[in-house]
Amino acid sequence: MSLILSLAALAAAPALIDPTYGPYTADQTEFIGWVRFSNGEFQLYGDEQDARRPIAPGCVSGAAPRGEMDQARGDLRGQKVKITGRAVPWNEATNHRIEHRGSNIRNDCGAAFVVVADDIRPAN
């Protein structure tokens, strides 16, 4: 009887967000979350605590044009940001990277897509 109740509870539970993608989907053009910078790319997290952990699942990698990345790296580290851009399937990567206007995305988050950003700024 308890097995049936356990199975029923699992069936009624809300679907969990895939931790590989966090709260983000490949059809978005605006991404809001907390950002960390590493290896020339950003990692975007939907949860501030995850962005502060040394290793945390649930991020999406991306990059803005090089000049904007350099400025964001100095000004926005650890902050809540709004990123405007588009998702690109990782299977379009060449030599395990996607180049975006002087920046390279290596997909350190390991998601099925990365964000090619046009703009990155503090979220209001």
CA distance to 42, 93, 122, per residue, from 75 (Å): 13, 28, 9
Model confidence over 17-31: pLDDT tens digits? Answer: 444 456 899 999 999
Model confidence over 62-72: pLDDT tens digits? Answer: 999 999 999 99
Q: What is the mean pLDDT of the chain?
A: 84
When pLDDT is averaged across residues 75-93 and rounded to a whole number, the result is: 93
* DSSP-derived pairing of the beta strands 113-122 and 59-63: parallel
DSSP 66-103: HHHHHHHHHH-TTSEEEEEEEEEEGGG-BTTBEEETTE
Q: Which domains are assigned to the chain?
A: 17-122 (2.40.50)
Give residue 57's pLDDT band: very low, low, confident or very high (50, 70, 90): confident
Give residue 1's pLDDT band: very low, low, confident or very high (50, 70, 90): low
Q: Say if pTM beats, i.e. exceeds, 0.85.
A: no
Q: From CA 29, how far away is CA 26, in angstroms rounded? A: 8
How far is C-alpha 80 from the geometric centre of its chain's CA atoms?
Answer: 12
